[in-house]
Amino acid sequence: MLIAEMIEETKQLLEMAEERLQQLRSKATELLLREEWKEAIGAYSQFITLSKDQIFQTNQQQLSDPDQLQKLRKSLCLALSNRAEARSRLREFHGALEDCDQALEIDGTHFKTLLCKGKILLSLNRYSMALDFFRAALLHPQASGSSESLNGYVEKSKKMDLLARTGALDLSDWVANGFRGKSPELAEYVGVVEIKKSEISGRGLFAAKNIDAGSLVLVTKAIALERSILAGKDLCEDAQLVMWKNFIDKVADVVRKCLRTRNLISKLSSGEDEHELEVVDISLFRPETEFQVHSSDKMEMDQMLAILDVNSLTEDSVSSNVLGRNKDYYAVGLWLLPALINHSCCPNARRLHVGDYLIVHASKDIKAGEEITFAYFDPLLPLYKRKETSMTLGIHCRCKRCKFEAEISSKQEVKEIEIGLERGMDVGGAVYKLEEEMKRWKVRGKERGYLRASLWCAYSETYRSDRSMKRWGRRIPAPDEVVDSIINVVGGDERLLKILMEQLKKNGAGLMEMEKAMKLAREVYGKVVKKQAMRTLLELCIGANE
C-alpha cells in the first residue's frame, strides 16, 4: 500500500511540474514574440532549469515513460534554442552559442538551432563555420518554407568567406551611386601581417611580405563606436564628455557580454611598460580562431579606461578618409588590430572608414619585414609643430625624418624661413629660399622630400595663387615634382592629390598625367574601386573639399 501511495504522489508531483512548465513556456514564448529579450531570457532560464530537474527525476523513476521523457527533451531543446535567439538579439553571443551547443546535443538536426547558430557565427564574422550550419539547415524538411532566406544566408556567408580569405574588396557600385543607401557590409580581413617587437614603441604590426601601394592590409569592424552629428571641432567640452562616457559604456557592455573580446582588449597597451608587452600571435585576431577564455578573467574599469585612452581612434584623423554618411558625423571608436599600428612622421599606411568598418591600406610600397605605420598627427607640418603635438600625445618620434630635421633646423636660414612665414612673408619667396638653400646644402632624395613636406603649407599656397606662380613659377620646382618627392616620404595624401588634380584641370590632362593621378588616388583611397568608380570618388571627395 505504501508503494502505491508513493507512486501516486510522484505522479501528482510530475503533473504539477508539467503544469508549471506549461505556464513558463507560454510566458516565455509571449515575451519572445513581444521582443522583450531580457525578460524572455529570464523566463526561459526558469523553464530550462525546471525541465532539466524533471528529466533527471523522470530518469530516476522505475516507471518512467519514454514518450514523456522524449517530450521533455524536445521542449528543452526548443527552449535552449529560443533563449539563444534572445541572447543573440542582446549580442550576448558567448551564452547564445553555449545554448545552441546544448540544444544540438539533444537534437543535432534541430532546424531552428542550426539556423540560429549560423546567424550568430555570421555576426561574429566566422563565415565558413556559419556556412556549414546554413547548409545543414537547408537539408532539413522544415527548410522548404524558408529556403529563399536560407539561400540568402548561404550566399552571404560564401561571399564574406571569399572576401575574408582574399581581401578582394570592391566598393565600385556604392561609390558610383554617390554613396546612396546603406554603407556596404564588409567582411573582416587580415592580410599577411604579423605582430612583432617594435623599435618605435612596444609592439607593432609588420608586413610579412611585400605590399604594393594601395593594397589592403586589413579590414575590421569596430568593437564599439560612438557618433555625434556635429563636426568634431564644433563639439563643446560637455558634448565631448557625453560622447566619451557613452563610448566607455558601450565598450564596457561588450566586455561584459563577450569573453573573447574582453580577452583581446586586455592585450592592448595601457600606455605603461611598453617594452614588456606580450607579443601575441596575429591569429588571435582572426575571427575564425578559437581559443580558451575564462569567465573568471576580469578587467578592472581603471585598466579599461587606460586602454581606451591609448587605443581609441577618431574617424576624422589626418591619416584617414571617411566615405558615405560618416562624413556628416564625428566619431570615436575602438578597432583592435589598428590599435597596434604605431606612429611615424613618414607613414606608409592610411585608414578608410566605411560604416562601422575600418580599412587599412598601404599608402606607399611596404617591404616584407617593414613596420606598418600611421601618422597620428599631420606629417605635413614643420618639425617644431609636430614636436608640440607629439608631446601632447606622449609620443617621442625617432624616425629618420625627425632626426634629419632636428639636425638641419638649427641652421639660421631655416629659422628665418619659419619666422618669416609666421610674420606674413611671401609664400613663394619662402619656397624659393628653401629650394636654393637645399641646393647649397646639397640636400638630395628623401631628405629634400622631408623639408618640402614640412613646408607644404607654403608650397600649396604658392601653387594655388596665380599671382605667386606668375612671380615665382619659373624659379621653383613644378608642382608634380614636389608632390612626387613628398609622396616618397609620407605616402599618398588627399591634399597632395588635390593639388595634382587642380594642376591637371588647369593645364589639361594627358594619358600619362591622368594615370599618375589615378596611381596617387589608389595610394590615398586604396584599391577598393575600379577605375571609373575612382573617377567618381575623386569628384565626390576632392570636389566636396573645394
Indicate the pLDDT class of residue 229, thresholds 50, 70 and 90: confident
User: 194: exposed, middle or buried (C-beta count within 10 Å: 0-12, 13-18, 19+)?
Assistant: middle
pLDDT value at residue 24? 84
Name the CA radius of gyration of the chain, rounded. Answer: 30
Q: Indicate the DSSP class of residue 345.
A: S
Lowest mean pLDDT segment, chosen from 370-379, 484-493, 531-540: 531-540
Question: Does residue 230 surpass a pLDDT of 70?
Answer: no
Question: Does residue 10 surpass a pLDDT of 80?
Answer: no
Q: Do 185-374 and 3-166 have the same topology in CATH? A: no
Arithmetic mean of pLDDT over the chain: 88
Query: pLDDT tens digits for 442-454?
Result: 998 999 999 999 9
Lowest mean pLDDT segment, chosen from 5-19, 111-125, 179-193, 293-307: 5-19
Going from N- to C-terminal start, the domains of the chain cover 3-166, 185-374, 492-546
Dist CA 214 CA 157 (whole Å): 26
Question: Does residue 13 surpass a pLDDT of 70?
Answer: no
pLDDT value at residue 64? 57
Overall average pLDDT of the 66-90 stretch: 91
Q: From residue 176, give the alpha-carbon distance in Å to each of 171, 179, 525, 537, 539.
A: 9, 7, 15, 8, 11
Higher pLDDT, 250 or 273: 250
Query: pLDDT tens digits for 126-140?
Result: 999 999 999 999 998
Checking 44-50 for CB contacts under 8 A at 24+ apart, the result is: 44/79, 44/80, 44/82, 44/83, 44/86, 45/83, 47/21, 47/79, 48/76, 48/79, 48/80, 48/83, 50/17, 50/20, 50/21, 50/24
pTM attached to this predicted model: 0.89
Question: Measured over all CA atoms, what is the biggest interatomic distance in the chain, rounded to whole angstroms?
Answer: 119
Which residues lie below 8 Å from residue 259, measured CB to CB, with a gap of 6+?
94, 293, 294, 295, 297
Question: Does residue 525 surpass a pLDDT of 90?
Answer: yes
Q: Which grid cell sits at 9?
A: 504522489
Dist CA 217 CA 211 (whole Å): 8
User: 508: exposed, middle or buried (C-beta count within 10 Å: 0-12, 13-18, 19+)?
Assistant: exposed
Beta-bridge mates of residue 211: 366
Question: Does residue 4 surpass a pLDDT of 70?
Answer: no
Overall average pLDDT of the 41-58 stretch: 86
Which residues lie below 8 Å from residue 383, measured CB to CB, with a gap of 6+?
402, 405, 406, 409, 454
Overall average pLDDT of the 247-273 stretch: 90
pLDDT value at residue 455? 94
Overall average pLDDT of the 411-439 stretch: 91
Question: Does residue 326 surpass a pLDDT of 70?
Answer: yes
Question: Does residue 1 surpass a pLDDT of 50?
Answer: no
Q: Which grid cell sits at 56?
A: 533527471
pLDDT value at residue 57? 73
Closest Cα to residue 372, out of 403, 340, 414?
340
Overall average pLDDT of the 209-221 stretch: 96
Overall average pLDDT of the 404-414 stretch: 89
- Asked if 195 and 205 touch (Cβ cutoff 8 Å), the reply is yes
Q: Which fold has domain 185-374?
A: Beta-clip-like (2.170.270)
Query: pLDDT tens digits for 334-377?
Result: 999 999 999 999 999 999 999 999 999 999 999 999 999 999 99
Report the amino acid identity of residue 69: L
Of all residues in the chain, the percent with pLDDT exceeding 70 is 92
- Asked if 130 and 156 touch (Cβ cutoff 8 Å), the reply is no
Higher pLDDT, 156 or 546: 156
Closest Cα to residue 342, out of 214, 225, 206, 212?
206
- Asked if 458 and 475 touch (Cβ cutoff 8 Å), the reply is no
- Asked if 93 and 129 touch (Cβ cutoff 8 Å), the reply is no
* 105: number of Cβ within 10 Å: 10
Overall average pLDDT of the 101-119 stretch: 95
Question: Does residue 123 surpass a pLDDT of 50?
Answer: yes
The second-level CATH assignment, the architecture, of 3-166 is: Alpha Horseshoe (1.25)
Overall average pLDDT of the 216-226 stretch: 95
For 48, the 3-state DSSP assignment is helix
